[in-house]
Each structure stands twice: as C-alpha cells, then as structure tokens.
Structure 1
Amino acid sequence: MRSIEIFAGAAGLGLGLARAGFKHEIVVEKDHDACRTILHNQKLGHELLQGWKVLEADVNDVDLGGIAPEPDLLSGGPPCQAFSIGGKHVGAASDRNLWPTTFAYVRALRPRAFVFENVPGLMQSHGDYLDYITLALTLPDIACPPAEDWREQASFLRRCVEQKVRSVPTYRVAVKKLTATDYGTAQNRSRVFIVGIRDDLTQEWQAPDMTHSHDRLMHEKWATGEYWDRHGLERPVMDKAGLAYMRKHNQRGMEDLFSQPLRAHRTTRDALVGLPEPTAEGTPGILDHQAAPREAKAYKGHTGSPIDDPSKTLRAGDHGVSGGENMIDLGPLAGTSRYRHFTVREAARIQDFPDDYTFPQPEGKRGKTCAWSSSLKQLGNAVPCALAQAMGDSIAKVLRA
C-alpha cells in the first residue's frame, strides 16, 4: 500500500506503519538530525526503510504537484509543543501550528485514508481547536486555504456538515486517544490519533483492540508471581498497589475467572532484557548502549521510572533532554546507584525501535553529551512503533476490505 508521511521525525510512526504493510514513497522532515538518522539506517540496509525518498524540507516548501496523488495513506505528526500539557499552551496561535498545512496536503493529495497523531493536550485543553481540525479534515477542499479566524471557519464548516455539503474529497473523521502500554509498549505514553477514511470507501474504521493490560501485570506480579520468576528475582514484599489488587482479585466473579486474559503490560525491566549495565565505553555488539554522559539526580517531581512498572513518558524537552522522565529508578536496594539516565539503546527499546536501528553522531557537533541529547530528543518526539503498527493494522483492514 502506497503511503506518504509528513513531520516524520526519526521514523517511529513510519516503522510501525511499515510493519503494517505500508510502503512510504516520500517522507518529509525538517530536522536535520532526524533525517540523518533515517538515511543512515537506510544506507545500512534496514529493510523497513527501503524505497523511502527522504525530503529534508519545511512541509510548506514541498511541491505537492510533484507527488503522485491518491496514496493509500497520508500520515504524520504535526508539531505538538503548542498543544502539549508540558509545553507553553500557545495552541492555535503558535507559529509552529502546522495543522492548516496538513489540511492542504489532504486537499492536494486526496489520500484514501489519513492518520495524524498529537498530544493528549490537544483534546484536553484545546478541544475547540480539535473540533475545528476535525471539521477541516472532513471537508478539506472547503477548509483550504484557512480563514484568518479559525473560529469563524469552524462555524461555517459546521453548518456545511449539518447541511450535508460535500467536498472532493470528503472524509469520515474519528478522534481516538490511545495509550501505548495497552499495545505492548513498555511506556505510559498516550497519543491522540485523528483518522480519516475517504467517503468512497464503505468500511468503517474501528480503533485497534487492546492487547495488554495493567490488570494482567498485577496478576502476574502478585497472584502468581510469574513476573518475578521470569526475571529470576525473589518475590518482594507486596506493596500498596499489590494489596489493593489482591483485594479486588479475591472479589472477582466466576465470569471474570474464565475470561480470556490480555497479555501483561510490559515494564521497563521487560523492555531492557538482555542489555547489560552500561559503561562509558559502550558494549560490543550492542548499538548505542553507552552510559549517559551526565549524572542523574532525583528530587520532587523528577524521580525516574520504576524498573518494575512501565516507564514514564519519554520526553524531548524544549532545551535538550527532559530529566525525570528519561531516568530509570532501580529501587532503594540499589543504594547510591538507584537513579541513572537511560542510554540511547534503552530509550529506543522503550519506544519499540528495533535493536539494529541506530542513531548516528550529529554532524558538526562534538562530545558524547551532544550525541546523547540529540538521540534522546529524537526518541522523545517519536511515536512508539508498536502503537503505530496497531494503528496501521486497523487502517489497513479498511483499505483492504
């Protein structure tokens, strides 16, 4: 299936969609380091990247007339910092708000389907603008070019929808918030997905079913102990969360006991299986697994990811790598070594990137700190590959129907 991606980053979304059977023809990304990462892995022969034409460019500067129209899928992640809860909350007024450009791509290329991802803050704090996005993507030919006042245009588009006005193309648009842990990612990372299906396709899109659950992880920890057994660990004293789960577990009805369980949420420890403790020199045979070049410090609100839970959301940070979210908490028994930063390979594992996907030294920059910060920033901006694949599989079902 033909696909085009904009705002591609280091290819987390693209790799997941490739696993779902989509073949990117063109990938557009402005960030030089992210483009180098894709091209470097492509040159190394990474199978999922073959055939990608990488355009290092501002999306506004791409000649859409030179792109073959009607791909099966248009995908991407428009910059989200303006809508992020952890960002500056500027929203639609930000010069980094590139949703109007995204509408223009849909109008010009007329994909059979599209999927765009963004931060939960778009749904939580900018709901009116999300409604506008949904309306504009429903009728992209009418919505472009955007009006000076998006609220006025949203009102106009809403009237068009109510009166069953159609554009060419017209899309059925759905918005869904998904959490990566529910699809096999060892990370509590939520994303909002905006999915559109062109109205000449009759099959309705349905969000992918969950494959993993917190309840099952608690069961394997505290009811059976198989989590600890799997990692060769002694079973610890049950914590408050475990006690609460067991009280709930002991009150379950017979129908719950015989229901088909989902797989357990994956923890940070699960994701890092097979990786030795990092050293400054790195580990032979394991890419990008050098110890982080700076000390990790814990304080209130900055405490790292407990190793036996899914990690916190990895973040890119406005000025380099965010701290607490990109640290691992090895527990009180680790003593003074309790906290340390993730290596690039560990962060890549937590984002589901394959072990043969590597992050090259940035051009024109020297020192381990620059390389580590650049790689962690790319990973912090990425969509977890397993979540991307789940979304890709769900859209592929519609396109193949």
Structure 2
Amino acid sequence: MLALKAENISKQYRLGQVGTGTLSHDLNRLWAQLRGKEDPYLKIGEANDRTTKGNSDYVWSLRDIHFEIEQGDAVGIIGRNGAGKSTLLKLLSKVTKPTTGKIFTKGRIASLLEVGTGFHPEMTGRENIYLNGAILGMTRKEITRKFDEIVDFSGVERYIDTPVKRYSSGMYVRLAFAVAAHLESEILIVDEVLAVGDAEFQKKCLGKMGDVSKGEGRTVLFVSHNMDSVSKLCNKGLYLKNGQIEYDGDIEDTIHLYSQEFFSKNNFLKKEAGIIKELKVEQKNTNIELTCKFDFGSFQYRPYLGFTITDLKSNTICGTNMKITKPDFEIPLASDGTISCNIEYPKLMDGEYLLSVWLGDGLVDYEAIIEEVMFSVKNMKVLDYPSTIHANGCVIPEVSWKFK
C-alpha cells in the first residue's frame, strides 16, 4: 500500500529576487495561461548545481522527480548541500507547491523541517502542543490522551507553561519532535533539525523513529548527513544530486553510491604545497601499507605521523601514531623523506575505506589530510565465508574456540 507518490514533480526558483520575477514576467505568464499555453519560463532555467556560476535567472531546485514510498517504509534522503533535499520535504509536507507535477499522499503528515516548525513563539509549550495537534487534524481528546507522553519524552516539563520564545534551540526541537512523533500521523517527515539536540536526545529520537516505522507501521522520511544514523534507521534511500534522483533503492546501496561519489576514489594523493607531498595506501596480501612523503624543513621539530582508518560512514575503525607505537628509529629534526607503515592488524572486511593522516611534532599537528584518500580491500579470504557481508562490522577478529 502506497503512502506517498510523486509524479514528475519539479520546483523552479528565480534567483536574486523575492517573488516570481518582474512585472513583464508575470504578464507573460498570465498571457500564456489565458491562451491555454504552458508557462514560458518552464522552458528555461539551469540545473541545481551550486558549484557553477550559471547564466540564467532561473534554477530548477528539483527536476522531474518520480518515486513511490510504501506504507511503513523508513526512507533516508541523502545528498550534498543544495541537492534539493529540504525543498523535496517542503513539497511533500505541502509547505510549498511544485512548479510542475503532482504529489499523492495517504494519511496525515507530521513534519519537522526546521527548529520550531509550526510553533507560535508567543504561546506556551502546552498551547503549542494543542495547536500542532489541531493542524494535524487531531481532536482535543486525542491530544489530551497523548499529552503526558509528549511532555515526558521532550524533557521540558518544567517549562511547559512558558512561552516557547524563551526556549533554547535545543528545548525547542525537543518539544517539536515530541509533538511530531507522538501525535498519530501516518507519515513523519524529519529534516536535519535533530543535530540541534544533544547526543542523548538524538539517540532517543532515532529510537522513537525506529519504533514509529518498525513497530507502528507508520512511514518515516529522514534527511541527515550522518550516514550511520541513516543506515540504522532506514531500509530504503533516495540519493539526490543537482536536483534530480541519482538513485532510488536499498539504503546500503544508496549510501555506498553517495560515498563513492562524495569521497575521492584515488588511493594516491600528490601535492605541491604543504608539508605532506605524497600520500599512498594500498593492500599487499593481507596487510595494508601506508607511505607518506614529507618535507618538514620549515619546522625545527622532529616529524611524527599519525593515521586513522574509517568506513564510508565516517566511523573510526582503527588508528595510531608514532608517539604511541614508538618505532625503532628516530627521524632527524627538520628533515624530509618518506615514512612507511605496514598495518598488519586488524584485518578488514572487503570494501572501501577512508584514510586520514596527521603530521606534526607529537603535540601540534602541522598538517592534516582528512578522508581525502580512499582505498579498497579485496579478497582477505576468511575461509569460505563471503567477507563482503558487513553485518558484524568491518573488522575480522582473531578468535579461538573451545568446547567442553
């Protein structure tokens, strides 16, 4: 059963001005409408690529978007800044209308698009709970039944009768999320506002969204740049790129494709400026070898190298530095050369990983290269077990078994 369906929706904006454009543009649109013709400005406009200057006053924030979401799905919407994620959520929430296309929804929608969405700053937290519930089509009796649960989840009971304009941003989003998640809407839409809350509340919110989707069978749409959170919560994904859908499918495949394009695919980095001149990482049999060519000549200190290896969701797997492991050689002061490191353990599952390095004097890092080098691990050969399965993490543990 479908909960949401988008049919070729697009959203066009005019750059640099508030409104639809000049008087001449509005008259042209009206004249076309009276003659039964298409809006002439739909034929112009450029793709939503924030990295280019462009020549048109019109830009397509979204273009020809088509997808279907089934009831009970948890869908992660990912993409770079400016890809059109928030615009899509506003269209689905009916905050704004699409320029072209149609959106079909089944059931009530609760959305949390930015801090304080739907809240009136002069009203108290208690009054805003009832206001939001009424907007969602809830009866006063239904809201009252959920009221204590909402307040308890939000953790702002002491301030529930205080105008929300006096709330901190964290308190604001706590109450707003509690209202959106607990009132009985069929579809819950959440943008990146959870980042405002503290770590404990973020974990609490993700758990609640999981309950809403898996336990209650409601539909969740979630936008976040935290790939680990998206992976844990969602079962499907939409990858937006320059205002268009690049991929629609399984969440792990979506994240993998996004990460492949977001991070450099090269396992080798060469630079002219800076202390680090070259950086390379490669697999040699079952080990990983890291080499770093450097020139420390402008700093009268002894060079020390450190590194971390992360997965494509930026979870740290392992790392160390020369201060901790204490190699059996000493690099001369203010020198240049190449440091090599053979990483024997841990053994990594097959897949793609990111390398970060730091070069400094052991106290101060003079240069850091963060997640700019990607490398692949292949054919680690854990007996006959397919090591591409990451259900148990990224590392192959060394274990021994006993039975009595």
Say yes or no: TM over 0.5: no
Query: What's the TM-score once normalised by structure 2's chain length?
Result: 0.24
Which has the larger strand fraction?
2
Higher relative contact order (CA 8 A, sep 6+): 1
Which has the larger helix fraction?
1
Query: What's the TM-score once normalised by structure 1's chain length?
Result: 0.24
